[in-house]
Amino acid sequence: MTTEEALRVVPRTAGAGELFQLLRDGQPRTRAELAAVTGQARSTIAARIDLLMASGLVAPAGATTSTGGRPPATFAFNPDARVVLAVDLGATHAHLAVTDLASTVLAELEAPISIADGPDVILGWVAQTGEELVRSSGRSLEDLVSVGVGLPGPVEHSTGRPINPPIMPAWDDVDVPGVLSTRLGASVLVDNDVNIMALGEHRTEWPGVSDLLFVKVATGIGAGIISDGALRRGAQGAAGDIGHVAVSDRSEVPCRCGNLGCLEAIASGQAVAQQLAAGGLEASGSNDVVALVRSGDLAASRAVRQAGRDIGTVLAGCVSLLNPSMIVVGGVVASSGEHLIAGIREVVYRRSLPLATQHLRIVASRTGNRAGVLGASAMAVDHVLSPEAIDALIG
């Protein structure tokens, strides 16, 4: 939730949970300032601040300057009060982080995994490794209030269960929150990996942008939609699945989904690697493509630029439909330099209406490979710091 939204939803009669939203921006405030913003009585504010202080979520923030007499006390959000575990699981790679309640990373770890090993093996490993990571950050499991998890497939966000996930069929309908919350003793939120990347990039780098499209270009291609300031997941949690949109004039290329000419079959890191391998280069995946481009290989640079154009064809339609003010391009292939984004820009600016592109920026991800864990952390923190959760905690 942005500060603007927080201010908007605080009615004059709001309880401690809503009052706390005002403080989430980290700025120290006096009781008088809080009374002025909310229109609540000083005595009411004082009582609620006492409750929040007792929970540890709010702490004294030192004295403010004053023209004389005893300086008024200020209070601020204390993000150190608890920690969350952020888990970003890919097909072959895991990234775990322990963060405070402001999503500042306290400890992190990356490891190779095989998601195909199934939920028993992988979630067991996540629970054990997560617990060790919490301890290595100097905290205990008692401090862990929530876990955010990103998975490489469609997830029903309300239940945290994967739905027919193509690259991890053994995970279908598995109660991921149930398994992890039993092991770790904390609430567990689960979402698609591209959604949490979009959330991580948005919260960390572009919190003031209300309409943003995050595009991940890696082994596959997917998008996460921020609209009116919030992540939009669609009816089944499948929003943003642009990898299987048909690209014009290329309908002969078969895709693993069974259709022809899908974007992912033409422009993903995997597809570009296959194209380069067919041309005699040593490339079996996205990382090889990136290495070839970085080494100055012309064929690889050209192929990545063309992939950018094909992605741009699909993104031009997304721009017309959603009118974002920013497209952020992330994923391994985006780290190969400017070729990918140059190709995307070329087509999007040519194919979209002037009104939609007038203020449109197309930029590379700034959070890089941390986008996922930052988003998983933000999702978990939002859950435990919501007005309802705070009221339940201190009520």
- Give the footprint of its own copies on this chain (CB under 8 A): 9, 11-15, 18, 154, 163-164, 210-211, 223, 225, 227-228, 230, 232-242, 244-249, 251, 257, 259, 261, 313-314, 316-318, 320-325, 350-356, 358-360, 387
Shortest distance, CB of residue 179 to its own copies, whole angstroms?
23
3-class secondary-structure state, position 346: helix
Residues 6+ apart with CB under 8 A from 2: 207, 208, 229
Q: Which is nearer to its own copies, 239 or 303 (CB)?
A: 239
Shortest distance, CB of residue 73 to its own copies, whole angstroms?
25
3-class secondary-structure state, position 39: coil
Q: Which is nearer to its own copies, 55 or 323 (CB)?
A: 323
Within its chain, how far is the Cα of 278 from the centroid? 35
Q: Which is nearer to its own copies, 238 or 281 (CB)?
A: 238
Shortest distance, CB of residue 236 to its own copies, whole angstroms?
6
Shortest distance, CB of residue 34 to its own copies, whole angstroms?
15
Q: Which is nearer to its own copies, 147 or 267 (CB)?
A: 267
CA separation for the pair 103, 160 (Å, rounded): 21
Q: Which is nearer to its own copies, 121 or 209 (CB)?
A: 209
Structure tokens at 222: 């997917």
DSSP assigned state of 23: H
Q: Which is nearer to its own copies, 273 or 319 (CB)?
A: 319
Q: Which is nearer to its own copies, 201 or 288 (CB)?
A: 201
How close are the terminal C-alpha atoms of the chain, in Å?
Answer: 22
Shortest distance, CB of residue 360 to its own copies, whole angstroms?
8
CA separation for the pair 245, 243 (Å, rounded): 6
Q: Which is nearer to its own copies, 301 or 352 (CB)?
A: 352
Nearest to 154 by CA among 204, 218, 220, 217: 220
CA separation for the pair 69, 19 (Å, rounded): 28
Shortest distance, CB of residue 12 to its own copies, whole angstroms?
6
CA separation for the pair 57, 206 (Å, rounded): 25
Shortest distance, CB of residue 324 to its own copies, whole angstroms?
6
Buried b (16+ CB within 10 A) or exposed e, 199-233: bbbbbbbbeebbebbbbbbbbbbbbbbbeebebeb
CA separation for the pair 252, 229 (Å, rounded): 39
Shortest distance, CB of residue 127 to its own copies, whole angstroms?
28
Angle at which helices 286-294 and 298-322 pack, to 10 degrees?
120
